[in-house]
Amino acid sequence: MNYYSLNKKAPNTSFKDAVIKGLAPDKGLYFPESITPLPQSFFDDIDNLSHTEIAFEAIKQFVTPEIPEAVLKTIVEETLSFDFPVVQFNKNISTLELFHGPTMAFKDVGARFMARCLGYFNKDNSEEVTILVATSGDTGGAVANGFLGVKGVNVVILYPSGKVSDIQEKQLTTLGQNIKALEVNGSFDDCQAMVKTAFLDEALTSKMQLTSANSINVARWLPQLFYFMFAYKQLHKKYKNIVFSVPSGNFGNICAGMMAQQLGLPITHFIASNNENNVVTRYLKSQNYQPQASVQTISNAMDVGDPSNFIRIQEIYKNNFDALKENLSSYSFSDETTKAAMLEIYEQFNYVADPHGAVGYLGCKAYLKNNKEAHGVFLETAHPTKFLDVVEDVIKEKQPLPAQIKAVMDKEKVATKISTYSDLKDFLLK
């Protein structure tokens, strides 16, 4: 499959090149040249397909022939070595748990898939790649884990100082080897802007092959479309009118869901559930897209003021505001409302939600108020113990720690503090 740049000022390129470059030379995000819906028989037969068979069929057109089918099968099998269960709360609401991977957030799938694609492209170790990642909390840990020890790959993670949870910080600063962490005096948007600037800085790109493992990169972004198919498989016999509420920050996940819908998955509607970083909620009300400096919240991984992927969503809907509004609702919630929702979920359903999932739950409820016939699935995007302080404070109960969290708790943080783009450049050139 070939990809074009959404800035339309760079040549179209192959999947391989799009993955290795991350961002197009004109600073645009790559987007597939075509999207061919899957045959109806795929959806009719979905109950008989395993997760890996579903994933293979769904992503094949986007990555072949650069990744041969036999290799793709192995990549998908290795990527999806954990579960994606749906937990039903009642006849109107379910949650899809996306936190059963090694770093307990939904980023594990994209990071593991991309690591294997890059590993395949660099199988003869001919070219060293430096991966730059900006994280508001979870991408960093998932990428660190996914790329740890991968030959020929150096990973540099930028995270906003004091704005990620303690566990998230441990996950991205303690692995060592080919993983380096930079603690940035700024916000996630500052980290993301520095990364994008680096891609276009010839003084760097002439000396090293830089790429991204954020959802900018098509190999990190597209595998997220699997989740929506896995949920559909578990629910479609009971419910015909399925809507997804996606806790959103950089809008990669919800945009991947829209790609699943383009492939023919019968999703009735999407809900972008936001914390107070709500550029998209405001846009759907005013038709005026106004990114703003991010504010800090308890759902910190969604503290994004200028989401990268909204431009891909605009592309899917051909910049038609009415068509987008028909398929997407968006709501924004304060920390106080989010905490109240965490308590409500615990008391009513005996379920411990993390703050991001709780925002998704609230979005679901808001939409269902006027759409009572729908079944809402909110994505539980991270395990609650990644946000231990908030969760235990709200539900007033100690949480048992999963093995993945225990494994990093007592490790020593190693990070270099930086403040400006020139600090990043110096670090990379050292």
Ligand X SMILES: Cc1ncc(COP(=O)(O)O)c(C=O)c1O
Ligand Y SMILES: N[C@@H](CCOP(=O)(O)O)C(=O)O
Return residues touching ligand X (CB under 6 A): 105, 137-138, 215, 247-253, 301-302, 356, 381-382
Calculated CA dihedral for residues 214, 220, 225, 226, nearest 10 degrees: -130
Distances (CA, A) of 34 to 24, 279, 385, 415, 428: 18, 28, 40, 41, 36
Q: By CB under 6 A, what part of segment 186-225 binds ligand Y?
A: 214-215
Q: Is 136 in the site for ligand Y (CB under 6 A)?
A: yes
Residue 214 CB, nearest distance to ligand Y (Å)?
A: 4
What's the rounded Cα separation, in Å, for the pair 276 and 220? Answer: 26
Restricting to residues 277-316, name those near ligand Y by CB under 6 A.
301, 308
Q: Is 250 in the site for ligand Y (CB under 6 A)?
A: yes
Question: 107, 196, 233, 339: which one is catalytic?
Answer: 107
Strands 2-5 and 30-32: antiparallel
The one segment of 84-92, 138-146, 177-185, 229-237 that binds ligand Y by CB under 6 A: 138-146
Piece of 9-17, 129-137, 150-158, 340-348 that binds ligand Y (CB under 6 A): 129-137
**Cβ atoms < 10 Å from Cβ of 412:** 8
137 binds ligand Y (CB under 6 A): yes
- Asked if 298 and 339 count as a contact pair (C-beta separation under 8 A), the reply is yes
Q: Which is nearer to ligand X, 137 or 204 (CB)?
A: 137
Distances (CA, A) of 172 to 28, 243, 297, 354, 365: 27, 33, 20, 19, 34
Residue 178 vs 273, nearer CB to ligand X: 273
135 binds, among ligand X, ligand Y, none (CB under 5 to 8 A by kind): ligand Y
CB of 235 to ligand Y, least distance (A): 25
Smallest distance, Å, CB 398 to ligand Y? 25
- Reply yes or no on whether 163 is catalytic: no
| 18 residue type, one letter | A
Site for ligand Y contains 249 (CB under 6 A): yes
At which residue do the structure tokens 């909390």 appear? 137
Coil, strand, or helix at residue 200?
A: coil
Site for ligand Y contains 101 (CB under 6 A) = no
Q: Which does 308 bind (CB under 5 to 8 A by kind): ligand X, ligand Y, none?
A: ligand Y
- Residue 214 touches which of ligand Y, ligand X, none (Cβ within 5-8 Å per kind): ligand Y
189 binds, among ligand Y, ligand X, none (CB under 5 to 8 A by kind): none
> For ligand Y, which residue of 66, 138, 190, 354 counts as binding (CB under 6 A)?
138
The SS3 of residue 104 is: coil
Decide if 130 contacts 428 (C-beta within 8 A): yes
- The set of residues, in sequence order, having a beta carbon less than 8 Å from that of 114 and lying 6+ positions away, is 19, 146, 213, 217, 219, 220, 223
- The catalytic residues are 107
Residues of this chain that interact with ligand Y (CB under 6 A) are 135-140, 214-215, 249-250, 252, 301, 308
